[in-house]
Chains A and B, each alone.
Chain A
Amino acid sequence: MLTLEKRPNPSRAWAIVTPILAVILTMIAGGLMFAVLGKDPVEAIRTIFWDPLFNAQFASYSRPQLLVKAGPLVLIAVGLSFGFRASIWNIGAEGQYIMGAIAAMGVALAFYPTNYWFVFPLMVLAGAFGGWAWAMIPAFLKNRYGTNEILVSLMLVYVAENIESWMAFGPMRNPQGMGFPGSRNLQQYPAAHNSELIAGTGLHWGVVTAGLAVIIGYVLLKRHIFGFNIQVAGQAPRAARFAGVDPKRLFSLCMGLSGACAGLAGMFEVAGPAGQITDSFNVGYGFTAIIVAYLGRLHPIGILLAGLLMALTYIGGEIAQLSLNLPAAAIQAFQGMLLFFLLGVDVLSNYRIRIKRRAQA
């Protein structure tokens, strides 16, 4: 009979192996799912994981997309990972992403059509502020009244989506848009446009910020008292209190930080690849980032790799839609499956499996 024996400390070796194992298991289970849908599983997996990078026909288009999609995912996930380590569950990053974008768009439209140099930096600040402020609502309610932050942050996603749609149809609608919903397109407003820094790479300021977030995140986590406090608060809340960690302050910091990161991601997206606020501006990066954070083991370097992998599945999914007629939703189910497997195989790093005979009387 198999029994589980708790390890005194999570195994470091397994902590690195499990995400890879989860990806392999997801490929197998995903292949089965594609087979059920009547697609060749090997071809589907190859289309999703190989073609975006190496296919002669698509790769020139899809390689830059890798950074465009990984940027927001990594930025949001790094922000979230701090809170998750301390059991602070901000799952409303999608809403904070939207509010960051709306705040930045507000700044851009206020200065339209001037070409001052400070428009873009001001938008960055506004984006971070928008996301921060939206995340501080659940943080304030938790600290002041003990309200569950999971539910509040999630409810605020739906509120933010409604604000986004209201903005697209109302206050921010492009006056020269021939009556179509949606704001002005910032790609046509140079002072506010988050353009590609090196042509053909997909590298824009958001990707640079995501890279910085990984480095800063690493330093904070490994070399700074803040990271230490978070780890202690997650593993032993009582010990953290004795060590002088103020749980409320830590809560506000983690929520605010993750909100600001999500807001920044929204800002760079609306100023660059998306260009405008429409009622379908948000595409679920805030939720996928949760998977990315876990796949990366809540570690900045891991998150970087996980973000790239997840971006790959997005692009591969798009290619598979075109070439194999695979429904868009299949990729969403695929990503959900990945998180399932990841959490499932985690048992190997926290527990040891022992084969035990039943005790004989």
Chain B
Amino acid sequence: MIAGIDPVVLIASLMAASTPILLAALGELVAERSGVLNLGVEGMMITGAICGFIVAVHTGSPFLGFVAAAAGGAALALLFAFLTQVLLSNQVATGLAATLFGLGLSSLMGQGYSGIKPPPTANVPFGPLAHLPVLGPILFSHDWVLYFSLALVVGTWAFLKYTRAGLVLRAVGENHDAAHALGYRVRLIRTLALAHGGACAGLGGAYLSLVRVPQWTEGITAGAGWIALAIVVFASWRPGRVLLGAYIFGGVSVLQLRLQAAGIAIPVQILSMAPYLITILVLVVMSARRGRAAIGAPAALGRVFHASD
């Protein structure tokens, strides 16, 4: 390996680097399993990033910041839900609108907040466990949001696989007409799934502005929301694979940052392209490997539901 890159530190920091994408991708996964393609993830992330930042700075509490971030992301998601579920607008175009609006709104709200340091989010105190060699830095020296994101992977998996509500949600995503005929409230279920997705995206955004960076800069998400969308495709709509996908991308972005810091003779900009290029590559590999039908996409994904009499 290149000198100066310690694999243990690399793994520990890739976990932190992946958390924003992981959170956003898990939320989007649930929304897509209910049959809605939400392309507004990027906008919801950045809205969460600024809402969380403002509240954390004013209250001094990162926890309240994250709560506000989830609320902000969910609010934008509810707007998206109102347009796509009630007014039956095109999901792709509405998602783009949500992203453009979120980007504008966030930089508007963020006026006067650049250069301020947010209150630090403390690591969970594991006592002596954190000092274990190798395992300590990797497993026991992170903040609570990171552990929450891992719990959410398990939670989402169990919810979709073992609960009745998860089954109904998947039914709505596979065939909304049949689900409607059975008496399930398609639009309500999708709205809830979207709100959950927006809240997760907001948390992911706040993880960027409060923990990763940690400060407010315009366009702080830099495409993380879009990468989250790509990861859902990469994961074939399965929570476990979302974790894998997010950590691969986190790894690539941390590695390129380390290489930049190590002063390797490749222009910085070429290295910065790496996460995006890898995303494209992975998408290609995933879509090339199997046929369209077997890829695992919910059958009703992106289709407008209108209960015609």
On whether A329 and B218 interact (CB within 8 A), knowing A4-B88, A343-B89, the answer reads: yes
How distant is A286 from chain B, measured CB to nearest CB, in Å?
11
> Quick one: which of A141, A339, A347 contacts B87, CB cutoff 8 A?
A347
On whether A339 and B279 interact (CB within 8 A), knowing A4-B88, A155-B230, A350-B88, the answer reads: no
A291 to B93, CA, bound (A): 9
Q: Which of B165-173, B240-248, B284-292 contacts A (4 or more CB under 8 A)?
A: B284-292
Q: Is A163 in contact with chain B by the CB < 8 A criterion? A: yes
Across-interface contacts of B288 in A (CB, < 8 A): 144-147
CB nearest neighbor in A for B95: A150
A156 to B104, CA, bound (A): 21
How distant is A200 from chain B, measured CB to nearest CB, in Å?
32
A334 to B283, CA, bound (A): 34
CB nearest neighbor in A for B91: A343
> Would B107 and A166 count as touching, CB distance under 8 A?
no
Q: Mark A156-168, 1 if CB is under 8 A from B, else 0.
A: 1111001101100
Across-interface contacts of B100 in A (CB, < 8 A): 287, 290-291, 332, 335-336, 339
> Quick one: which of B103, B110, B227, B283 contacts A336, CB cutoff 8 A?
B103
> Would A148 and B223 count as touching, CB distance under 8 A?
no
> Quick one: which of A89, A141, A148, A333 contacts B101, CB cutoff 8 A?
A333
CB nearest neighbor in A for B90: A343
How distant is A5 from chain B, measured CB to nearest CB, in Å?
8
> Would B272 and A162 count as touching, CB distance under 8 A?
yes
A130 to B113, CA, bound (A): 39
Q: Is A151 in contact with chain B by the CB < 8 A criterion? A: yes
A-B contacts, CB under 8 A, total: 145
CB nearest neighbor in B for A151: B230
Q: Which residues between 256 and 272 of chain B lie within 8 Å of chain A, taking CB atoms?
A: 267, 269-270, 272
Most chain B beta-carbon contacts within 10 A, residue among A3, A291, A333, A347: A333
A294 to B97, CA, bound (A): 11
Q: Mark B228-239, 1 if CB is under 8 A from A, else 0.
A: 011001000000
> Would B101 and A339 count as touching, CB distance under 8 A?
yes
A163 to B268, CA, bound (A): 10
Interface of B toward A, CB cutoff 8 Å: 39, 79, 83, 87-90, 92-94, 96-98, 100-108, 110-111, 218, 222-223, 226-227, 229-230, 233, 267, 269-270, 272-273, 276-277, 279-280, 283-284, 287-288, 292, 306, 308-309
Identify 24 residue pairs between A and B in the complex whose beta-carbon atoms are under 8 Å apart, listed by A's number. Answer: A3-B309, A6-B306, A91-B96, A151-B280, A156-B276, A159-B273, A159-B277, A162-B270, A162-B272, A163-B269, A166-B267, A169-B267, A170-B267, A327-B111, A328-B107, A329-B105, A331-B104, A332-B107, A336-B101, A340-B94, A346-B87, A347-B89, A350-B88, A351-B306
Q: Nearest 8 A-B pairs (CB), nearest first? A: A336-B101, A332-B104, A333-B104, A329-B107, A166-B269, A339-B97, A336-B100, A343-B89
Other 9 A-B pairs with CB < 8 A, given A287-B100, A327-B111, A329-B107: A147-B280, A148-B287, A166-B269, A290-B93, A291-B97, A329-B110, A336-B101, A339-B93, A339-B96
